């Protein structure tokens, strides 16, 4: 979905995206044994209305259908919207050549955003398949439509107890939209090119909860940012991905999973739902130790993920992990995984930002770190080494 508002046309961004997609779509992910990717592609452009394109392989030229009712978005065509890239390549190349010229004289600067996601999700729903939306967007959606936002960038709230309001979405539209997307296996990746305030707290919620990614290029300049953007886009299109995933974590007695962090949604306490999961995503799990653990039998964890492959197969991936248990703190510190700890603390802090002042979160992080180091100093370090804080390998 490509934002074709005035600024995106004038700065050459739309032309760049269309030109590069011609080669990038050659590299859609596929199963190892397959010659051709099973993934189908579709195209929507938008400003304050949506333009759907029919790119069926037997057409001489692509056909455009305009949806002006952004309050109740519907998909105006099924056959010819989602197509195999190889089969429809000539029609798709025609379309990508035409889009920059089609909107060259447009002075429309207002955009919508929530209806764009809704349209993509409805198209996937109608095709009865999961999928991923790549949205190229540049401004605060101020056009009259669901998800309309206003500029609320208030510097006076920074470093006050009310600062957390700036990190919360302006409207609950995006939260309920994200839940719908996860329910239908629709992941959203957003490329943002803002030249002024865009309210990432609201626009970024759907990518965050649907296992997507948000890329942000402030004041995009072609000669400076072009290569970084193209690298990001290429990597995101080509990487391995699984759709419509559900994960469960089971443990042996003595401890249990209590909290989960990542691009996930949870409608109950056990099922971790993900519209998509790829090789760059991690789900962090917090366990609570609430009973005796045996040094003889250790602690057992099983993580099972049911997901749909890019070729449409439903698969189950299971990881079993056996961990040693010890009553000696020195053993714990020696096998401690720093990357996992930092990942956990960062995600915990990110979640807390919505409810607590930054100053409080910072103090909690400092106290937790100091407590870990103090425990090591007290229980593990030799008395002579006053400055020793790291474990010997």
The per-residue pLDDT for 392 is: 46
**pLDDT tens per residue, range 296-351:** 999 999 999 999 999 899 999 999 999 999 988 988 899 889 999 999 999 999 99
For residues 187 and 277, what is the distance between their CA atoms, to the nearest angstrom?
9
> By three-state DSSP, how is residue 265 classified?
strand
Asked whether the beta carbons of 51 and 70 are under 8 A apart, the reply is no
Q: What is the pLDDT of residues 33-46, one digit of tens each?
A: 888 899 999 999 99
Question: How would you write 229-280 as a 3-class SS string?
Answer: HHHHHHHHHHCCEEEEEEEEEEECCCEEEEEEECCCECCCCCCEEEEEEECC
| pLDDT per residue as tens digits for the range 345-376 | 999 999 999 999 899 999 999 999 999 999 99
Mean pLDDT of 111-135: 96
Residue 129 has pLDDT above 80, yes or no: yes
**Are the CB atoms for 190 and 207 separated by under 8 Å?**
yes
The secondary structure of 87-146 as a DSSP string is TTHHHHHHHHHHHHHHTTT--------HHHHHHHHHHHHHHT--EEEEEEE-S---SSST
In sequence order, what are the residues at sequence separation of 6 or more whose Cβ sits closer than 8 angstroms to the Cβ of residue 332?
326
How much is the average pLDDT of 154-159? Answer: 83
Average pLDDT, the chain: 92
54: DSSP letter: E
- Rounded CA gap, 73 and 47, in Å? 14
Which pTM was predicted? 0.91
**In the predicted model, what is the mean pLDDT of residues 174-197?**
96
State yes or no: pLDDT of 60 exceeds 70: yes
Q: Are strands 44-46 and 2-3 parallel, antiparallel or unpaired?
A: parallel
The CA-to-CA distance between both ends of the chain, in Å, stands at: 51
- pLDDT at residue 32, rounded to an integer: 84
- pLDDT number for residue 384: 61
Q: What is the pLDDT of residue 387?
A: 57
Structural domains of the chain in order of their starting residue, each with its CATH number: 1-238 (3.40.50.410), 240-324 (2.60.40.1670), 326-392 (1.20.120.730)
Split at pLDDT 50, 70, 90, the class of 385 is: low
Dump pLDDT digits (tens) for 83-107: 999 999 999 999 999 999 999 988 8
The pair of three-digit structure tokens given for residue 151, joined into one six-digit string: 């500029």
The residues near 103 (Cβ < 8 Å, ≥ 6 apart) are 4, 9, 14, 45, 47
Q: Which residues does 123 contact at the CB level (< 8 Å), separation at least 6?
A: 42, 75, 81, 82
């Amino acid at each position: 979905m490509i934002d074709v508002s005035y600024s995106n046309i004038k700065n050459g961004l739309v032309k760049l995206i269309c030109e590069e997609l011609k080669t990038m779509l050659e590299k859609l992910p596929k199963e190892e044994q397959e010659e051709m990717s099973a993934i189908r592609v579709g195209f929507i452009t938008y400003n304050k209305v949506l333009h759907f394109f029919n790119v069926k392989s037997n057409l001489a030229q692509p056909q455009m259908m305009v949806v002006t009712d952004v309050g109740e978005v519907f998909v105006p065509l099924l056959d010819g919207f989602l197509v195999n890239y190889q089969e429809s390549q000539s029609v798709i190349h025609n379309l990508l050549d035409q889009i920059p010229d089609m909107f060259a004289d447009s002075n429309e600067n207002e955009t919508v955003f929530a209806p764009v996601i809704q349209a993509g999700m409805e198209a996937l729903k109608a095709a009865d398949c999961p999928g991923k939306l790549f949205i190229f967007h540049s401004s605060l959606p101020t056009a009259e439509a669901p998800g309309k936002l206003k500029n609320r960038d208030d510097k006076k709230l920074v470093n006050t107890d009310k600062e957390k309001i700036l990190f919360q979405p302006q409207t609950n539209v995006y939260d309920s939209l994200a839940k719908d997307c996860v329910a239908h296996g629709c992941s959203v990746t957003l490329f943002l090119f803002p030249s002024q305030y865009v309210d990432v707290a609201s626009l970024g919620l759907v990518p965050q909860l649907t296992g997507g990614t948000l890329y942000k290029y402030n004041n995009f300049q072609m000669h400076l940012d072009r290569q970084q953007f193209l690298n990001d886009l290429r990597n995101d299109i080509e990487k391995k991905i699984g759709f419509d995933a559900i994960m469960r974590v089971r443990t042996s007695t003595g401890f249990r999973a209590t909290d989960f962090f990542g691009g996930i949604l949870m409608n109950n306490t056990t099922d971790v739902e993900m519209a998509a999961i790829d090789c760059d995503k991690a789900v962090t799990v917090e366990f609570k130790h609430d009973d005796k653990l045996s040094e003889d039998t250790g602690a057992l964890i099983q993580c099972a993920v049911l997901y749909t492959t890019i070729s449409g197969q439903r698969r189950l991936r299971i990881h079993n992990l056996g961990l040693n248990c010890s009553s000696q703190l020195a053993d714990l510190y020696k096998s401690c995984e720093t990357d996992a700890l930092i990942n956990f603390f960062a995600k915990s802090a990110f979640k807390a930002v919505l409810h607590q002042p930054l100053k409080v979160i910072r103090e909690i992080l400092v106290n937790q770190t100091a407590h870990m180091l103090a425990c090591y100093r007290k229980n593990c370090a030799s008395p002579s080494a006053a400055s020793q804080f790291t474990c010997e390998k």
